[in-house]
Chains A and B, each alone.
Chain A
Amino acid sequence: MEKEKPVVSVRHLKKYFVANRHVFGATDYVKAIDDVSFDIMPGETVGLVGESGCGKSTLARTIIRIYEPGEGEIIYKNTDIAHLSNRKMRAYRNKMQMIFQDPYASLNPRLTVAEIIAEPMEIYNMYTKKEREEKVQELLEQVGLKPDHITRYPHEFSGGQRQRIGIARTLALDPDFIICDEPISALDVSIQAQIINLLEKIQDEKKLSYLFIAHDLTMVRHISHKIGVMYLGHLVEFGEAEEVYKNPLHPYTQALISAAPVADPVLSRTQERIKLEGEVPSPIHTPSGCPFSPRCPECRPECRIDPPVVANVNGHKVACYKYV
């Protein structure tokens, strides 16, 4: 069988924000994303984890071109979309969509549900007005809302229902790649499961690919086929979900997974926790060498000099000198 091509591949992507322009000389940059590369296959979910401020959301927003990407490539099917003009980008916007974190902020409070869901189709001049109305009904049903909800305003819905509306809106354009930027972290636990199940159901039906961002490790393990771990703008580990979870290679991933709560008190007592020393360094003055070196329990002298090259351990990628 011929090898499948990735839907989206990110190559050496960088995104620096200007933090401070000095009157003379250098400009300070926040290195929000620094040299990140990975692939997303059709019908696959890639989970992205990491602590707050490590660049997960920036990565998502850069891939979907809310932020202008710096160096690097974002390849959608066969086209590098990283540096397309806004006009040319329009042809690809309908193929990649995004579900936002806060369902209260992501729906325009002045529009009805029907207007919100129909808007992307209006923008792309898809279907006639009548067909659009039918499509809205269909989408609402698909995400588990009632057809008579269409004339309602967003403030009349609960958080979970709003997130469903948000999902229906992204599906309106029949995308083949959806970025979920912490779609469940603003919801109750019981609703989280519903939304996750809905996302999985839709994925099965439409062969969608997800980039799923979360900080809840168990949830990411459940939904993802592959997991990427980010630290300080770097992708430090990337591999099959079970593999990363059961056999973490990077010291940061090991610490992260050992810190996740376990639902079994007996097991939890016996489990050893890796406690990290210190704080995450400032993304402006990043450490030379491995970004994790100042806090790494297994740091070696060479870690502080040059950043590690990505090593491939049986298809499991890790950026650490232990595996070079």
Chain B
Amino acid sequence: MIQREEYFDPIEKEEQNSEFIAIERKSFVRDVWERFKSNRRALTGLIVLGIIMIITLLGPILSPYSYDGMGTSINSKVSLTHWFGTDALGRDLFIRVLYGIRISLTIGFVTTLINIVLGILYGGIAGYVGGKTDMAMMRIVDVMYAVPSLLYIILLMLIFGSNIGSIMLGMCVSGWIGVARLMRSQVITLKEREFALAAYTQGAGAGRILFRHLFTNAMGPIVVSATLAVPQAIFMEAFLSFIGMGISAPQASLGTLAQSARMYMSIYPNQMICPIAMICLIIFALNFIGEGLDEALNPKGSR
């Protein structure tokens, strides 16, 4: 090492006491967004989903066709006038697929949102209160979870008819249980952490501790599991529609479209492939986003 004389000069007055923070100032959200952005697959997923959503919103407004308007060209092939072809009643498939995506995404996002809110409240309370309350609350949940969710959906459909509402309700009956369990386990570990104890000694009430301190720290895994629950809900709806328990005509979801195309599968494959391809695309995109969020929210070795 070269020793230079200026190395030994006394430092300037301002530089003394120069304890400063060298890393760039970042809020939590920005930090996560930057990590998410650097993940190429996740970003692709987000862009694809964004494009699909824009098309589904704008498509029906710009298109000359409506989802239940029948035309003269029956079972036409993929062409410039009918991008995805038409079905046996001469309805434009492209526009029907777009409506199908609307229904699928609505079901996916709304059920997930309801499940998250219910799960966070229930699991948060159970975990925070603990003891016998926790015991009782979790046993109730166990019983509900023991019944297959398909059964709830079928029963609700018998009562309320086969429409989006009863499908969503059916998926919510036991759908929030996963979130509740996750939230509960997070709260149980976090409430013993010193920052939670510190808030308690400062006189903070249960609500403040639960939502300001525990929830914000438990958010990571919950957001991830929620994004992964959206494609599950979409898939569930498609599956139900495919076995003939979905929403009723003339409305169509991606599942019912695939179901009605089943009969002509070998002659008009486009009627089957188009809705199924959209399901795949959406589910892939959502899964990539979920994965990317997981990595962005829980980076290894950052703590």
Contact = CB atoms under 8 A, between A and B. Distances in A.
Interface in B53-105: none
Contacts of A51: none
B198 A106 contact: yes
B201 A64 contact: yes
Interface string A113-145: 000000110011000000000000000000000
A105 B195 contact: yes
B28 A93 contact: no
Contacts of A107: 195, 198
Interface string B191-213: 00111011111111100100011
Contacts of A152: 21, 25
Interface string A142-176: 00000001011101110000000010010001000
Interface of B: 21, 23, 25-28, 193-195, 197-205, 208, 212-213, 216-217, 303
Contact of B194 (A106, A120, A156, A157): A106
Interface string A80-121: 000000000010011011101110011111110000000110
Contacts of A102: 194
Contacts of A90: 203
Nearest to B302: A155
A263 interface: no
Across the A-B interface, the 6 shortest Cβ-Cβ residue pairs: A106-B194, A93-B203, A120-B202, A110-B216, A105-B194, A108-B195
A153 B26 CA distance: 8
A123 B216 contact: no
Contacts of A98: 197-198, 201
22 contacts: A61-B197, A96-B201, A97-B202, A98-B197, A100-B197, A105-B193, A106-B198, A108-B212, A108-B216, A108-B217, A109-B28, A109-B195, A110-B28, A111-B216, A119-B212, A120-B202, A120-B203, A123-B208, A153-B27, A156-B25, A166-B198, A169-B202
A263 B25 CA distance: 43
Contacts of B199: 108, 119
Nearest to B28: A110
A196 to B, nearest CB: 18
B194 A100 contact: yes
Given A156-B21, A157-B21, A97 B217 contact: no
Nearest to B200: A66
Contact of A124 (B28, B197, B203): B203
Given A108-B217, A153-B27, A157-B21, A119 B194 contact: no
B198 A169 contact: yes
A109 B212 CA distance: 11
Given A106-B194, A108-B213, A153-B28, 10 more contacts: A94-B203, A98-B201, A100-B197, A107-B198, A109-B28, A110-B28, A119-B204, A119-B212, A120-B202, A123-B204
A198 B204 CA distance: 27
Contacts of A156: 21, 23, 25
A107 B21 CA distance: 18
A105 B190 CA distance: 10
A217 to B, nearest CB: 25
Interface string A56-93: 00000100111000000000000000000000001001
